[in-house]
Amino acid sequence: MNELLMPFQYDFMQRAFLAALCVGLLCSVMGTYVILRKLSFIGDGIAHASFAGIVIAYLRGIDYYVGAAVVAVATAVGIGFVHRRGKISLDTTIGVLFTGAFALGVFLMSRQRSYAIDLQSFLFGDILGVGRGDLLLILGLALAIAIAVVILWRGLMYTSFDPVVAQASGISAEVHEYALLVMLALTIIVSLQSVGIILVAALLVTPAAAAYQLTSRFVPMMVLAAVFGSVSTVGGLYLSYYLGSSSGATIVLLATGLFFVAMACARLSRILRRSA
């Protein structure tokens, strides 16, 4: 029994598990909107764009996460603005802006002689390196986003389903779109340290997509997604401790596994219902 609790004896592991739980819940709740708005691309987009922020922060000697957050939020707002003013699809806008921001990051870095940034930890995450200050930042941002979800969830859902009619009834599709983009940007920043730039998109998409297989109601979908998300992050971290594997990769693989299990369950229940 003690052996099973072994990972929890270290302070850094406790912090890592708390961060993992936070990130799992947050990403999957926001992921519900991502799936329903068909924005699967956005996680990748904002995460890659934030790379420019990390490089700029390094060059200016400020905190990496502040740099990443500023650029991520700016990119998110920029995506909303170009999409609305340029009458270009959201998908295309994301593609244009995120590659631009990512290239800016690569460009700035390529002009440096030495790379002092630990790129590996940003690309693939370093959840075991979450310090006390990092954890406070994660908890604070997660709380802020959770409050925003509680306040905006109805409007976000209505404008996801039927933006035109929602707008006519006085619920602004534009305001909710910008709010969602900013919330997504902050969610991605919170998650960067845990799973990294490359894999954060999976946490936004996979748990919610798994939940979508199993229910045809909105609130159950969000709750199920939160369960899948937190099981993936906490379980993945736990598994990685014993397997000696990369935590980010293990988390995402577990989420992917859960997705296929959910898909199989959905198929099975359809077959059973048909034969009943």
Partner 1 sequence: MKDVHQHHDALAHEEAVVVRDISVRYDTVLALEGATLTVCTGEALGIVGPNGSGKSTLLKSIAGLLTPARGSIEVFGKSPKSLGPGSIAYVPQVEAVDWSFPATVRDVVSMGRFSRLRPWQVFGSRDRDAVERALEAVHMTDLADRHIANLSGGQQQRAFVARAIAQDPQVLLLDEPTTGVDAKTEEALRVVVRHLVAHGLPVLMTTHDLERVEEWFDRLLVLDRKVLALGDPAEVLASGAYASIREHTHTHGHMRHDRA
Residue with tokens 């590659």: 99
Residues 41-80 within binding reach of partner 1 (CB under 8 A) = none
- Nearest CA to 194 among 158, 170, 230? 230
Give the C-alpha separation, 158 to 179, whole Å. 14
18, 36, 82, 266: which one binds partner 1 (CB under 8 A): 36
C-beta closer to partner 1: residue 103 or 152:
152
Between residues 243 and 265, which has the closer beta carbon with respect to partner 1? 265
Nearest to 39 by CA among 84, 79, 74: 79
- CB neighbours of 256 closer than 8 A, spacing ≥ 6? 202, 206
CB of 81 to partner 1, least distance (A): 19
User: Binding pattern to partner 1, positions 148-187, x when CB under 8 A?
Assistant: ---xx-xx-xx-xxx-xxxxxxxx----------------
Q: How far is the CB of 48 from partner 1 (least distance, A)?
A: 27
Pick between residue 7 and residue 163 the one whose CB is nearest to partner 1.
163
> 201 or 224: whose CB is closer to partner 1?
224
For residues 79, 126, 24, 22, the Cα torsion angle rounded to the nearest 10 degrees is -100
User: What's the DSSP call for residue 131?
Assistant: -
**CB 128, min distance to partner 1, A:** 36
**Count of residues that interact with partner 1, criterion CB under 8 A:** 26
- Interface with partner 1 by CB under 8 A: which range of 43-51, 146-154, 198-206, 235-243? 146-154
Enter the DSSP assignment of 114: S
Give residue 196's region: left, alpha or beta (phi > 0; psi -120 to 50): left
| Alpha-carbon span 17 to 226, nearest angstrom | 16
**Beta carbon nearer to partner 1, 201 or 208:** 208
Please report, as ranges, the residues that interact with partner 1 according to CB under 8 A.
Answer: 36, 38, 151-152, 154-155, 157-158, 160-162, 164-171, 212, 215-218, 220-221
